[in-house]
């Protein structure tokens, strides 16, 4: 099978190079035969890579430990779905996964792009071919998943215990799908530049792709936070690790694009900016890959240091120079079709929203790369950890949150003072009221208080928008409230789906603010002994150690401590936290013992228990007890964001022209000033 | 005896519900041997499975002042975590407990928080800090993002002013526009519908 896999990779490389060359030539010379050939090459490349994936999975499931990758990431007793997910657990496999998914997306773009956008497809094939060929080249020359060992071990090393979590099955693929699908909008942007067809047509072609990318990145980020929280045991979900940052960067710039693209669609403005955002987002996704795989920045997520990093650095530079050279040559063609009419308009607020989103992205990138910069300038490497990022980014994040509420309240083109007063009255009152109530209730953390007050303002904005829209429909069509609301959302999914996303963002920010009140303590307890900790809500939790049991389970030896929890003396349940010693099929330990936190979650707070270890081999054990307020809302905020994204991208609804006709009247336009 | 279909399904539902019913076990008081402080603390069957042996936690380990110091110091094991988080999370790490003991020793000598942090910086360099100290080139680290955004914001404001001034205002018409060919009710409906399309 490894021979077949290697062969498939070589075929994929040749097909990728072919698609890259022929696609470009076919597009620039208008040769239909070459265009067809490029399209077919993308399909064939996809087939070849799927065969390579099949070959890796075959080796994984057949425990072919002579294959280095299989021996490094699996063992005979690894549960079956982790054996499957070992495909992307290591550097080599994840490169194959990336290339394959890209070729699948490239094929889908060729198949499902509307006929009126066909002019872009040869160039899209060319870009997809180039990027895929690059990934296959890296595999063939630096990280081949089919390379064999000189001997065959009796069993593999197994999968890192921290990767043996359901999050492993979903989080990396989601993040990869977000990263990879970003290549398609990038390919269309390059196609628009190369073909000089720079009207808003290419934006229509990539609308769904950008949403897909953004949605997958959002899901990937939230799943990553969840995984870190339930698996890593430090009691948090975001550590500003370089790899987390690398995933956040393109999400921020894509979010900026999803806002600014509306201005181009409605007013024909910001053409240069939108193209730059799409190109920049894709380059950031490649840069994230470079950071993860080069070892240039220390990260808990990093793959081992390898020459792969140099390949990525070279490719990143090549792609950036090529893209922006082409972009610069087309700048004269990218003139705006309209101008701003007022500084107090939705367009202007979107510009400031973009400024802040890109500003936060810059700030995160700056912090991530600052250790390298410091070493270059000062000769000393500094550490840039959470205290730095929190200090720099919390104010920016709060400003961004405020703009989330301000933007929808300002009219397109020009807002009048009475209009602003009418729009802002209720939300501002809600925000101030929220802040005052929390202040009176004793909340003193400045940023948390501000986050919640701004959250109240934004939620009131969203509620007001839904209420006004629903009321208008009820008045006009006499529909019941629920039906009016459903029709309102259904008729304008992008607008109201966007508001749902904004609601999710508010929920996330409020949840983040909750972490300001995190409380924790360590204790050594013998069975029967208790430790107490006071919740930020005022009640007292007592944790009683009931005892420790040891047993075998799947591919691990478990040491489990059971804790009885009481809230103000009233029994609130049992929590179990574990130490897991993973073993291979021969019973040999494969990794250091890992910790499995015990979590009891409710909308107000999470109780997060960690078994540190035992004293003198007895049941006397060291525990860490943490109370994390509002964490529950991080997951549900993420869910709301995803739900909003799904509403926005749900098919149907028709074009704006169709929707206007459906509205039941015709408009007679009167030329202004005549 | 004939059973109707309705009776049959009612009976089936009743039997199913009975089968699904599980009485909630009564909460029992703890047995005397598990009263606080009185537990047996028996030996584990295989202590090796429970990871590195631990020392009992002391009051100093939970001291807020010590934790504040340790949250400023980076564990040098390569985990990227601060000393406190590492020693209370990665229980396989031997570096963070050693650094913790060092912090405790310095605190026992009567050193203040900043003095303890300085002692670590003298030994390990500034990379031991979780965030770079705010002086010299590091200030660029802290203030560049905000400055860049501020400058970009000012430039954007200026550009907006220029764009909006350059936009020709609608010239006053010589004659008033013709009255709309619609009733006030229709115009109101139009206004509401248009509001919905302006996302």
Sorted by where each begins, the domain ranges of chain B are 52-128
Sheet with A530-534, side-by-side order of all strands: A530-534, A540-553, A556-567, A570-582, A594-596
Q: Are residues A527 and A622 in the same domain?
A: yes
B 156-175: CB under 8 A from A: 156-157, 160-161, 163-164, 166-167, 170-173
Least confident range of A41-55, A295-309, A419-433: A295-309
B56 touches chain A (CB under 8 A): yes
Q: Are residues A449 and A522 in the same domain?
A: no
Domain that holds residue A495: 416-516+633-662
In a domain, A103, yes or no: no
Could you read off the pLDDT of A389-415 as tens digits, one per residue?
999 899 999 999 999 999 889 888 777
**Euclidean distance between CA atoms A576 and A569, whole angstroms:** 19
In a domain, A94, yes or no: no
What's the confidence (pLDDT) of residue B23? 42
**Euclidean distance between CA atoms A208 and A112, whole angstroms:** 11
Could you read off the pLDDT of A173-200 as tens digits, one per residue?
898 899 999 999 999 999 999 999 888 7
CB contact under 8 A, A300 and B62: no
Q: Are residues A462 and A479 in the same domain?
A: yes
Q: Which residue has the higher pLDDT, B154 or B194?
A: B154
> Which pLDDT band holds residue A146 (cuts at 50, 70, 90)?
very high
CA A534 to chain centre: 35
Sheet with A598-601, side-by-side order of all strands: A519-525, A621-629, A605-614, A598-601
Q: Are residues A559 and A426 in the same domain?
A: no
Q: What percent of chain A has pLDDT over 70?
A: 95
In a domain, A568, yes or no: yes
Q: Which residues of B touch A412 (CB under 8 A)?
A: 198
User: How many structural domains does chain A have?
Assistant: 2
CB contact under 8 A, A619 and B46: no
Angle at A583 between CA A582 and CA A584, to 5 degrees: 135
Which residue in chain A is spatially nearest to B188 when comparing CA positions? A476
What's the confidence (pLDDT) of residue A644? 95
CB contact under 8 A, A382 and B141: yes
Task: For residue A229, give how far its alpha carbon lies from the nearest alpha carbon of chain B (Å).
Answer: 12
**A98-126 b/e with 16+ CB inside 10 Å = b?**
bbbbbbbbbbbbbeebeeebebbbbbbbb
Under CATH, which number does the domain B52-128 receive? Answer: 1.10.8.640
Least confident range of A316-325, A389-398, A494-503, B17-26: B17-26
B97 touches chain A (CB under 8 A): no
Task: For residue B111, give how far its alpha carbon lies from the nearest alpha carbon of chain A (Å).
Answer: 23
Q: Are residues A626 and A531 in the same domain?
A: yes
Q: How many CB pairs under 8 A join A and B?
A: 272
Q: Are residues A523 and A626 in the same domain?
A: yes
CB contact under 8 A, B167 and A341: yes
Q: Which residues of B touch A610 (CB under 8 A)?
A: 88-89
In a domain, A118, yes or no: no
Task: For residue B30, give how far its alpha carbon lies from the nearest alpha carbon of chain A (Å).
Answer: 8
In a domain, A208, yes or no: no
Which residue in chain A is spatially nearest to B55 when comparing CA positions? A615
Q: Are residues A536 and A624 in the same domain?
A: yes
Eight-state DSSP code of residue B38:
-
Could you read off the pLDDT of A58-83 as tens digits, one per residue?
999 999 999 999 999 999 988 888 99
Q: Are residues A458 and A559 in the same domain?
A: no
Q: What Cα–Cα distance (Å) separates residue A9 from each residue in A42, A110, A133, A183, A328?
A: 14, 21, 9, 20, 35
Q: Which residues of B touch A488 (CB under 8 A)?
A: 196
Please give the helix or strand (H or E) that residue A533 lies within, else none: strand A530-534
3-state DSSP of A204-215: HHHHHHHHHHHH
Q: Are A187 and A109 in contact (CB under 8 A)?
A: yes
Q: What percent of chain A has pLDDT over 90?
A: 63
Which residue in chain B is spatially nearest to A612 when comparing CA positions? B91
What's the confidence (pLDDT) of residue B5? 59
Could you read off the pLDDT of B70-123 as tens digits, one per residue?
999 999 988 888 999 999 887 788 899 999 999 999 999 999 999 999 999 999
Q: Are residues A601 and A656 in the same domain?
A: no
Least confident range of A120-134, A485-499, B38-52, B161-175: B161-175
CB contact under 8 A, A388 and B142: yes
Q: Which residues of B touch A262 (CB under 8 A)?
A: 199
In a domain, A447, yes or no: yes
In a domain, A558, yes or no: yes
Residue A585 is part of a domain; what is its CATH number? 2.60.98
In a domain, A155, yes or no: no
């Amino acid at each position: 099978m490894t021979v077949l896999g290697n062969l498939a990779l070589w075929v994929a490389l040749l097909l990728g190079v072919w698609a890259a060359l022929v696609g470009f030539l076919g597009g620039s010379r208008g040769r239909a035969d070459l265009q067809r050939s490029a399209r077919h090459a993308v399909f064939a490349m996809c087939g070849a890579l799927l065969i390579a994936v099949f070959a890796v999975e075959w080796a994984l499931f057949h425990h072919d430990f002579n294959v280095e990758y299989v021996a490094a990431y699996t063992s005979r007793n690894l549960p079956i779905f982790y054996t499957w997910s070992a495909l992307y657990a290591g550097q080599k496999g994840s490169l194959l996964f990336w290339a394959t998914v890209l070729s699948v997306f490239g094929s889908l773009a060729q198949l499902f792009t509307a006929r009126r956008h066909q002019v872009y497809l040869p160039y899209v094939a060319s870009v997809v071919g180039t990027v895929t060929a690059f990934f296959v080249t890296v595999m063939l020359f630096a990280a081949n998943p089919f390379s064999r060992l000189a001997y065959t071990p009796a069993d593999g090393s197994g999968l890192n215990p921290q990767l043996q979590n359901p999050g492993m099955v979903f989080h990396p693929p989601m993040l990869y799908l977000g990263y990879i699908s970003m290549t398609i909008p990038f390919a269309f942007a390059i196609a628009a530049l190369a073909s000089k067809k720079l009207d808003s047509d290419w934006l229509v072609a990539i609308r769904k792709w950008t949403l897909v990318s953004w949605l997958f990145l959002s899901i990937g980020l939230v799943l990553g936070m969840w995984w870190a929280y339930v698996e890593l045991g430090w009691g948090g979900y975001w550590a500003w690790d370089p790899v987390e940052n690398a995933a956040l960067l393109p999400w921020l710039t894509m979010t900026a694009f999803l806002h600014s693209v509306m201005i181009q669609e409605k007013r024909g403005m910001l053409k240069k900016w939108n193209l730059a955002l799409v190109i920049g987002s894709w380059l950031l996704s490649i840069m994230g890959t470079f950071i993860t795989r080069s070892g240039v920045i220390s990260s808990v997520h990093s793959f081992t240091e390898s020459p792969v990093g140099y390949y990525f650095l070279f490719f990143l530079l090549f792609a950036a120079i090529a893209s922006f050279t082409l972009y610069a040559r087309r700048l004269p063609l990218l003139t705006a079709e309209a101008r701003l009419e007022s500084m107090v308009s939705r367009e202007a607020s979107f510009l400031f929203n973009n400024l802040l989103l890109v500003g936060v992205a810059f700030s995160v990138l700056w912090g991530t790369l600052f250790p390298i910069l410091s070493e270059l300038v000062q000769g000393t490497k500094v550490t840039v950890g959470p205290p730095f990022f929190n200090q720099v980014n919390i104010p920016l994040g709060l400003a961004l949150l405020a703009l989330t509420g301000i933007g929808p309240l300002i009219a397109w083109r020009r807002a009048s003072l009475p209009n602003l007063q009418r729009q802002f009255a209720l939300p501002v009152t809600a925000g101030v009221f929220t802040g005052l109530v929390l202040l009176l209730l004793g909340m003193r953390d400045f940023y948390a208080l501000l986050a919640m007050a701004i959250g109240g303002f934004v939620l009131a904005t969203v509620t007001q928008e839904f209420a006004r829209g629903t009321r208008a429909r009820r008045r006009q069509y006499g529909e019941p409230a629920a039906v009016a609301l459903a029709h309102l959302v259904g008729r304008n999914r992008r607008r109201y789906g966007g508001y749902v996303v904004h609601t999710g963002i508010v929920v996330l920010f409020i949840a983040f603010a909750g972490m300001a009140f995190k409380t924790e303590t360590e204790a050594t307890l013998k069975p029967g002994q208790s430790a107490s900790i006071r919740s930020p809500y005022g009640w007292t939790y007592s944790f009683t150690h009931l005892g420790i049991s040891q047993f075998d389970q799947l591919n691990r030896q478990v040491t489990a401590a059971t804790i009885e929890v009481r809230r103000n003396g009233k029994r609130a349940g049992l929590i179990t936290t574990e130490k897991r010693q993973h073993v291979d099929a021969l019973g040999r330990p494969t990794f250091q013992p890992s910790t499995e936190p015990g979590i009891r979650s409710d909308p107000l707070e999470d109780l997060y228990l960690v078994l540190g270890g035992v004293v003198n081999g007895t049941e006397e054990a060291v525990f860490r007890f943490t109370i994390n307020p509002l964490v529950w809302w991080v997951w549900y905020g993420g869910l709301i964001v995803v739900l909003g994204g799904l509403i926005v991208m749900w098919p149907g609804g028709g074009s704006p022209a169709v929707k206007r006709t459906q509205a039941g009247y015709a408009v007679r336009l009167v030329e202004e000033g005549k | 005896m004939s059973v109707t279909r309705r009776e049959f399904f009612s009976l089936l539902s009743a039997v199913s519900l009975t089968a699904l019913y599980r009485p909630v076990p009564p909460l029992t008081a703890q047995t005397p041997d598990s009263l606080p402080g009185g537990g047996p603390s028996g030996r584990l069957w295989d202590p090796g499975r429970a990871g590195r042996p631990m020392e009992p936690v002391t009051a100093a380990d939970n001291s807020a002042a010590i934790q504040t110091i340790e949250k400023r110091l980076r564990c040098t094991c390569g985990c990227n975590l601060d000393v406190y988080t590492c020693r209370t999370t990665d229980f396989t790490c031997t570096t963070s407990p050693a650094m913790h003991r060092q912090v405790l020793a310095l605190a026992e000598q009567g050193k203040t928080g900043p003095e303890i942090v300085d002692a670590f910086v003298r030994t390990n360099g500034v990379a031991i800090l979780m965030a770079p100290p705010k002086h010299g080139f590091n200030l660029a680290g802290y203030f560049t993002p905000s400055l860049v955004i501020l400058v970009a914001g000012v430039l954007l404001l200026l550009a907006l002013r220029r764009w909006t001034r350059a936009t020709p205002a609608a010239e006053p018409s010589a004659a008033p526009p013709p009255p709309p060919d619609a009733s006030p009710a229709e115009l109101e409906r139009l206004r509401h519908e248009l509001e919905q399309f302006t996302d």
